[in-house]
Amino acid sequence: MKENLRLFALLLLGGVAVWFFTQKSNTRPTPSLRDVRPPPAETARTPEQTFRVRSPLTGEPARSGFDAEVTTRSGGLRSLRLNGRQFAMRQAPADPRTGARGADHRMNLASTWNEDLLSLRTELKVKRGEETVVPAYLDYTGRQVSEREVELTWQGNEVEVVRTYRSERPFTMDVETRVRNLGAPINVEARVPVYEWVLREDENGKFFQRPWQVAEGTCRHGTELYREARDKLLERRPEDALAGAASFVSLGNTYFELAVVPRGNGEARCRLFAEDRIAAPGQEPLGSVYGASIGWARASLATGETQRFQATVYLGPKEPELLAAVTDDHRLTDTVNLGFFSFIARQLLRFLRFLHGIVGNWGAAIMLLTLCIRVALLPLLAKSMKSMAMMAKLKPELDDINKRLADNQEAKTLATMELYRKHGVNPLSGCFPQLAQLPIWWALYTTLQTSVELFHAPFIFWWRDLSAPDPYYVLPLVLGVIMFLQQKLMPPQGMDPVQAKMMTYFFPIFLTGISLFLPSGLALYMLVNSCLGVLQQWYTKQQMDQYKGGTGTGGGSAIQVKTLTGDKP
């Protein structure tokens, strides 16, 4: 009775948890953060102007790129909107300064708004002796050179600063800052930063869900790759540079990346940090500002000399081909985090893209990929099925041994080993094939969770975004039913009845609760995999029935074990 009550309590708890998380509203007001950190004083400044830099579009069928809006206020990015149907948001992004939503539904990767936090803004320290001769906030004069190039110029205190933005490849921009000294010698330091703002609600997610907005910073210098999340970045200070020459620095989430690659012969250092933002003292943080920058060593300029600080910036989706094309050595592909089994995940992603090229639908490609992996693993599965069938055949003898020798552990162990030896059965042979499959299935899980190809990718019916949870929870609920049938078809072996019943009912409920908030692409993979598992187990059950009927190895005769001296008969 107590065991039944415990089982009922667990099932009830699981049901309440599933109901709570499905009923929790996903809607929330867009916070207005204009008072979080006031912008610099507006006195004695020239009116702001903006200019546009459009990157070339990728080829068919994506036809995607960006439209960047460059401001004369410190030469930063006011907006960076991604072109292409894949990056159109169902609801227009809100202006972070006012909370108002406009008519432009394109995704905007320029998520910060204060002048000191604009991505690609001018960060210069120019001194003549002990005097700072270039202010922290510059008002440039702009010139639209072409659709793909903008030039900004500032002059003062016998110093000229010229910045150029030029885009010649999809999602990529070359940024150059030229500092020319027109007076007495000066010392110059320069940085190229990127910033990202993430709401704390988006970072926290829900029940077993890792939101795609969760950000991290990455820096490679030498042979070392630093990849740090918010908690670690909060411990860093913006002025602290990592040791060693940097080859790139980036901020990114699951699907998108802001990366800076230094060019030229000068040695560069990378910086990573994060800062919490609160609306009022004593309140919990509304979110975090993430920062990353490439900084060059101090340069000394004599009269008439010019120093150039050059960088290539990638601002777009984490598509391996696009990232690899930024540099000759493909270094930015390191920004894609495919987990521990990344060497397997990369091959699975290539194969998934190949299948998509054939069927033209990412949902169908996921189903075909899952089927292909199942077929490829059939030799391991066959060995595991044979072992399971033999173990099921020997179960009556094992139960008899456990019953007769329950009080003598040594005799029970010897009798069990003799039974396995006589029938040529290795009880671990069914586990090894299952363990061998784990890296492949885990790599596939990671691949589907991080592939930007699934972002806003439609499948069929109401599944219009494979990177978002099923809006009507059909996939998770069907998955729960299939898992229940799978447990009934092949009940767990070696468990007492209460444990077996718990696995039969609790495991499908638990898995359903998890998949409610997983991306539809992952839920689809789990459903197809479970359906194939049911077919496999049905076939296994047929094999087991043949063994039980006496057609298998060993004949099925019961084994008699003599009682050792001193044991009770």
pLDDT at 303: 93
Give dist(CA 385, CA 430) in Å, integer: 7
Tell me the helix, strand and coil percentages in the chain, rounded to 5: 35, 25, 40
The pLDDT of residue 152 is above 90: yes
pLDDT band at residue 457 under the 50/70/90 scheme: confident
Does residue 238 have a pLDDT over 80?
A: no
Residue range 34-85, pLDDT digits in tens: 344 444 555 578 889 999 999 998 876 667 889 999 999 999 999 999 988 8
pLDDT given at position 481: 81
Helix (H, G, I), strand (E, B) or coil at 247: strand
Q: What percent of the chain shows pLDDT beyond 90? A: 25
Q: How far is CA 45 from CA 4, 73, 74, 140, in A?
A: 75, 9, 12, 10
Q: How many CB atoms lie within 10 A of CB 494?
A: 10
Radius of gyration of the chain (CA): 31
Mean predicted confidence (pLDDT) in 385-403: 69
178 contacts 307 by C-beta, under 8 angstroms: yes
Q: What is the pLDDT of residue 538?
A: 74
pLDDT attached to residue 33: 40
Alpha helix (H) residue ranges in 451-519: 474-489, 497-515
Q: Which of 57, 449, 451, 55 lies closest to 256 in space, CA to CA?
A: 451
Asked if 383 contacts 434 with a C-beta cutoff of 8 angstroms, the reply is: no
SS (H, E, C) 281-344: CCCCCCEEEEEEEEEECCEEECCCCEEEEEEEEEEEECCHHHHHCCCCCCHHHHHCCCCCCHHH
* pTM of the shown model: 0.77
The Cα 252–Cα 269 span in angstroms is 19
pLDDT digit string, tens, across residues 302-352: 999 999 999 999 999 988 888 888 888 888 888 887 777 777 888 888 888
- Terminal C-alpha separation, the chain: 32
The pair phi, psi for residue 514, each rounded to 5°, is: -65, -45
**Where, residue-wise, is CATH 2.70.98.90 in the chain?**
50-337
Amino acid letter, 387: S
Reported as a single tens digit per residue, the pLDDT across 254-280 is: 889 999 999 987 788 899 999 988 877
The CATH number of 50-337, from 3.40.50.300, 2.70.98.90, 3.40.50.620, 3.30.465.10, is: 2.70.98.90
Quickly state the pLDDT bin for 144 (edges 50, 70, 90).
very high
